[in-house]
Amino acid sequence: MTGASVPVRRARYGADLLVIASVLVLLAFYYVGRADAIGVSSATRSWVAMTLRAVPGWAHFLGAALLLGVLPVVAARSLTGLSLRALGLGPGNVRAGLLLLAAGTPLAILAGAIGSASPAMRAVYPLFPAAAGGGFAGYAMVQFLYFGAWEVLFRGVLLFGLRPALGGTTANVLQTALSVTAHFGRAINETASALPAGLVFGWLDLRLGSIWYVAILHWIVGVSMDWFILR
């Protein structure tokens, strides 16, 4: 089944509910499944946490896979009727995707190196320094649960899932806007870069017909930054 074959009425109705469902899983992940705590402080008050207590690494990564990956895909399949392939979860244009990986991997590593030099980024990453230090290769592989699920939600479910109702450009802008707000509480340079990155990532995914090539590059950026910080 392709996006064009989904009835317009169902696509529009499903799109509204899909955005709401995506916001709900983001709320749950932000406040319940965090690897750290977000709080506030002022001249008259001491620091107070606004989120629940930080969870262990295994809970954070599994929670990401469930809340940002599995549940949104189930919702998208039910609300829009789109197949996994139509949601960008298939292989897409393999040749173009592999060329993107070949060209993009050095740039992703460079981006990780640049990010690792930022004191604000070092204050946040790696999310679990002890786990990364104990066996970085295994830690890096587990991290794909987070990066892969992130791409599934924003560039898969929201981008491809909303395209039949909104069109590719508007769906890309909407998923980018939500992904930027999901970065609130991180370093300002990370949050600001999420705007152009989200638009470019979405544009690439639409042309490749798959999220996985960009997901791998996003993962390489995060993993390489952690590696440079821990050196």
Kindly list the domain boundaries of the chain, sorted by start residue: 3-230
User: Does the structure show a pLDDT above 60 at 150?
Assistant: yes
C-alpha–C-alpha distance, residues 11 and 219, integer Å: 31
Residues in CB range of 41: below 8 A, 6 or more apart: 47, 48
- Residue 39 main-chain phi, psi, to 5 deg: -145, -175
SS3 call for 173: helix
The pLDDT-based confidence of 30 (bands split at 50, 70, 90) is very high
- Does pTM top 0.75 for this prediction? yes
Task: Give the residues across from 40 on adjacent strands.
Answer: 48
Following DSSP, what letter does each residue of 21-85 receive, concatenated? HHHHHHHHHHHHS-SS--EE--SSS--EESSPPPPPHHHHHHHHIIIIIIHHHHHHHHHH---TI
Task: Give the distance between the most distant pair of CA atoms in the chain.
Answer: 58
Per cent of the chain over pLDDT 90 is 88
Please tell me the predicted confidence (pLDDT) of residue 7: 52
pLDDT in tens, 68-116: 999 999 999 999 999 999 999 999 999 999 999 999 999 999 999 999 9
Q: Please give the average per-residue pLDDT across 158-165, as a whole number.
A: 96
pLDDT in tens, 130-144: 877 778 999 999 999
C-alpha–C-alpha distance, residues 50 and 165, integer Å: 36
Please tell me the predicted confidence (pLDDT) of residue 12: 59
- Residue 172 main-chain phi, psi, to 5 deg: -65, -40
User: Does the structure show a pLDDT above 90 at 45?
Assistant: no
Please tell me the predicted confidence (pLDDT) of residue 210: 98
| 44 CB burial (10 A radius; 0-12, 13-18, 19+) | exposed
Alpha-helical (H) ranges within 117-187 are 119-122, 129-134, 136-151, 161-166, 168-181
For the chain, the average pLDDT equals 93
User: Does the structure show a pLDDT above 80 at 5?
Assistant: no
Task: Give the residues across from 39 on adjacent strands.
Answer: 49
Per cent of the chain over pLDDT 70 is 95
Please tell me the predicted confidence (pLDDT) of residue 1: 45
User: Does the structure show a pLDDT above 50 at 15?
Assistant: yes
